[in-house]
């Protein structure tokens, strides 16, 4: 911001004749006066890396191509296959449980932590920044490494730390990653650990923008802390909580890296979320057509969520999208 004064002094130079620029480069100047040249590089990259692949994946989903043989006639067979496959139902089941529980707990925990940190900050307590940083650490660690870290915590041998800590309460070792239902819970817990930071920081930012006066007024009117939270804070935050919800829904549906490193989708297919199914169909089973059909399912989820997001942004009246 130190540059502001020097830029401001230019305002004083306005009186000088504009001819002070001796070499007007007309071609360049005119070229730069349309927005499109400025947007062209971005457009090229987005067309190549997003638009083309999306069209191609939709095309592939209507074939029965494999990675080895691609020249197959067009058919809706892939969709019929996955629709009738028991794997599709189980994948959907696993994905939905994973997404719903991740999202609910990430938002709830994020909200509680944001609230605690905000109160601590208002009271000027020490350790507020340290607490916020500890939560954000989880956000900065690459997803695959989070998977590896949690696989070490979940070790089922007698040297596994979580089993050691939990033993006094359960009296037997918990098969964190080897028993299907438990593995899905373990995976979801690790994902909650990973994703809470994002919700926390968004809600924290939202809480900073709330006017203290409204809360004060409620306090004067005799509302207790719980009433102030439910009747004053949450309604004020509602639009941003909804945006937060949609963003983490999209993100959780797309999760791939952490699951691959933590469970690899196993045991069996008990933790195989949709992104893993796509990978498995295409690169393990070489069913390009079927994998593409799964990918189109995920793409549809992405697009529906995006439409909801855009509607929400428009409704909140900030005209940002």
Site for other proteins in 30-59 (CB under 8 A): 32-36, 38-39, 41-42, 45-46, 48-50, 52-54, 56-57
Q: CB-wise, 128 or 236, nearer to other proteins?
A: 128
Nearest-10 crossing angle of helices 128-140, 180-209: 130
CA distance 208 to 205: 5
DSSP state of 224: -
Q: CB-wise, 11 or 212, nearer to other proteins?
A: 11
CA distance 279 to 288: 10
Does residue 257 bind other proteins (CB under 8 A)?
yes
69, 75, 76, 137: which one contacts other proteins (CB under 8 A)?
Answer: 137
- Classify 82 as helix, strand or coil: helix
CB of 246 to other proteins, least distance (A): 9
Q: CB-wise, 57 or 232, nearer to other proteins?
A: 57
Backbone angles phi, psi at 63, to 5 degrees: -125, 170
Give which of 259, 242, 213, 207 is closest to 313, Cα–Cα: 242
CB of 321 to other proteins, least distance (A): 6
Q: Which residue, chain included where needed, has tokens 């006017």?
A: 211
Angle in degrees, CA 304, 306, 312, rounded to 5: 110
Does residue 311 bind other proteins (CB under 8 A)?
no
CA distance 311 to 303: 12
Does residue 216 bind other proteins (CB under 8 A)?
no
Q: CB-wise, 72 or 254, nearer to other proteins?
A: 254
* Span 55-94, contacts to other proteins by CB under 8 A: 56-57, 60
CB of 28 to other proteins, least distance (A): 7
CB 257 within 8 A of CB 39: no
> Which region holds residue 316: left if phi is over 0, alpha if psi is between -120 and 50, else beta?
alpha
Give which of 254, 253, 243, 249 is closest to 205, Cα–Cα: 243
Does residue 1 bind other proteins (CB under 8 A)?
yes
Q: CB-wise, 81 or 128, nearer to other proteins?
A: 128
Span interacting with other proteins, options 83-91, 97-105, 226-234, 238-246, rule CB under 8 A: 238-246
Span interacting with other proteins, options 81-89, 96-104, 137-145, 230-238, rule CB under 8 A: 137-145
Does residue 212 bind other proteins (CB under 8 A)?
no
Does residue 150 bind other proteins (CB under 8 A)?
yes
Tokens for 304, please give them.
């529906």
Does residue 189 bind other proteins (CB under 8 A)?
no
């Amino acid at each position: 911001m130190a540059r502001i004064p020097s830029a401001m002094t230019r305002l004083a130079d306005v009186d000088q004749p504009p001819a002070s620029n001796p070499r007007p480069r007309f071609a360049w100047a005119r070229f730069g006066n349309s927005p499109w040249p400025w947007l062209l590089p971005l457009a090229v990259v987005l067309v190549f890396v997003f638009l083309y692949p999306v069209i191609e994946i939709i095309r592939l989903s209507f074939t029965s191509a494999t990675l080895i043989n691609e020249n197959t006639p067009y058919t809706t067979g892939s969709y019929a296959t996955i629709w009738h496959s028991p794997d599709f139902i189980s994948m959907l089941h696993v994905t939905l449980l994973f997404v719903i529980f991740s999202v609910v707990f990430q938002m709830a925990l994020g909200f509680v932590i944001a609230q605690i940190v905000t109160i601590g900050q208002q009271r000027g307590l020490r350790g507020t920044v340290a607490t916020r940083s500890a939560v954000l650490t989880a956000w900065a660690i690459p997803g695959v490494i989070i998977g590896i870290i949690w696989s070490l915590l979940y070790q089922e041998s007698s040297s596994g730390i979580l089993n050691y800590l939990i033993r006094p309460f359960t009296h037997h070792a918990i098969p964190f990653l080897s028993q299907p239902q438990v593995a899905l819970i373990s995976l979801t817990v690790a994902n909650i650990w990973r994703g809470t930071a994002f919700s926390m920081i968004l809600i924290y930012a939202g809480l900073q923008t709330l006017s203290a006066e409204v809360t004060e007024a409620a306090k004067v009117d005799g509302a207790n802390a719980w009433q102030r939270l439910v009747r004053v804070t949450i309604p004020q935050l509602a639009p941003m909580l909804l945006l937060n919800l949609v963003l983490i829904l999209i993100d959780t549906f797309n999760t791939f890296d952490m699951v691959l490193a933590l469970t690899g989708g196993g045991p069996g297919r008990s933790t195989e979320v949709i992104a893993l199914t796509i990978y498995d169909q295409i690169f393990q089973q070489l069913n390009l057509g079927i994998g593409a059909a799964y990918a189109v399912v995920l793409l549809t989820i992405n697009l529906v969520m995006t439409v909801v997001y855009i509607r929400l942004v428009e409704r909140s009246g900030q005209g940002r999208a």
